[in-house]
Structure 1
Amino acid sequence: MSPGLKCLFDWGLSCPNGSYFFVTGTELARDGVGSGRSWLGTELARDGVGSGRSWLGTELARDGVGSGRSWLGTELARDGVGSGRSWLGTELARDGVGSGRSWLGTELARDGVGSGRSWLGTELARDGVGSGRSWLGTELARDGVGSGRSWLGTELARDGVGSGRSWLGTELARDGVGSGRSWLGTELARDGVGSGRSWLGTELARDGVGSGRSWLGTELARDGVGSGRSWLGTELARTELARDGVGSGRSWLGTELARDGVGSGRSWLGTELARDGVGSGRSWLGTELTPYSSYV
């Protein structure tokens, strides 16, 4: 058996004394200081200080101070101050002050003052004064004065003076003077002087002087001096179903139904039906039916 083939069977790919052999024109093994192993034109292993291992042209492992490991051209591990680990070109872990972990190009964890965690390019957690948590580019939680929570780019909760909660870009709750709740871009509830509730862009309820309730863009109820109720853009009652006081009235579908007081009247579908008082009259469909004064 030739020395090269004996080397192959006795030692695998490791041949002593710098010997080597060829298979189909490819150098498989060179042995010596800083020697290496290769397969199909690729260096597989070099052994020594700062030595490395590689596979298919990629350095797999270097052992020493500041040494590193890599796979498929990516450095996997560096051990030392500010050392790091990476996978597929991404730094996975740096251990030390302000160190960090990452995955697929994203920093996963920084541990220290103002440190943070992230996932897929998003900072997940910063621990400290004004720290925050986030998910998919959204800040999830800031803990401190005026801190906040959010989800999917929406601030979910700020705790403090004038703090608020929101969902899907909508502020859900602000707790404090003039605070409010909303849903899907609509303010649902403001609690305080002149506060209000709304749904789908409509103000549903304001509680206070001149406060009101509405539905689908229509003011449903105002409770207070000159308050009113309405439905579908029509004033329904003034108390805009009801206004209580001198010259108050009731209406339905844009028609004033009843005014109670001097010269008050009732009407239906734009027609005045009844006026009770001096020279009062009744009418139907725009026609005055009984002017009582003509019979006097």
Structure 2
Amino acid sequence: MTTPAATIEGRMMCASSAAYSIQPNGSYTALEPYHGGVGWLGAPVAIIGGTQNINACLVGVNQDGIIVAFRGTVLPVPITKMSILDWWQDIVDSEPKPIPGVPGKVHCGFKDAVQTIWAQLLTQVGIFKGLHPGMPVYMTGHSKGGPMATISAARTHFDTTVGWKPIAVYTYASPHPGDKDFVKDFPLTEIPVTRYENYLDVVPLVPPSEKFIQLASKSKLLGDLFKLAEGWNYASLGERKYINRKHEVISGQPQLTPKQFAKLAFMVAAGPCGLRKVALAHMYTCGYGYMKGLCPTGVCP
């Protein structure tokens, strides 16, 4: 059996990867090395909801506490320019909407995804908290799972009837969860959010902020796509940690520079080879940037 990852961010990455093993019927297959990399203390519980059970999370316990790991989205197959652009458009073309009681507005697709599993999630966390009094809760997710984690964390904070909230959120390859007001009023002092972004991964840029809508205007391909979100004021949330091309995790890294963005835009437009590199930079599995950066030893073969 795989040894648990050496760090909490590595274990949360493994939990986010393990969530992809939730089946449409709600069963969970313990896929290694991610299952063992979390160090689950007993089998986690899978929760599913939405059309064709497209929304899902795992709730379980490990050495850190009670983990809620939201399942993300997988790359479209085959990887072509059209399939990738359609996939990105599903993320970009979504006007933010309010959640009652939560400041600002959030991506309506991610908001609705959370709602489909919300009641089950609260029930299952409540069961684990009853079994493990005083145990902290963490939320995590890769790709779509990232904004589902941050939106869920905000709901637990602002809804006083919930009775608990996570002590931290870890996201990987997360799209922007909401607008500037949502980000400004998110309770980061009580629920710190750490977001990991990999070299060449474009998903953490979408839906785009106003800054990147302007930058993308110089690229025919991304310009038309990003313009869909003009005026919606999407923003990133939490402390950014960047995984560079050598798979080193760099703290205190500012947002993507115009030069780095230009390189991304060039690779997307250059053809199948460049597009494939950008798409694979989003992967959650062993052999790719997120796992190489967060679990460099002891988990992946």
Q: TM-score range by the shorter chain?
A: under 0.3
* RCO comparison, higher one (Cα < 8 Å, 6+): 2
TM-score by length of 1: 0.19
- Please state which structure has a larger fraction of its residues in helix: 2
- Please state which structure has a larger fraction of its residues in strand: 1
* Structure number, greater radius of gyration: 1
TM-score by length of 2: 0.18
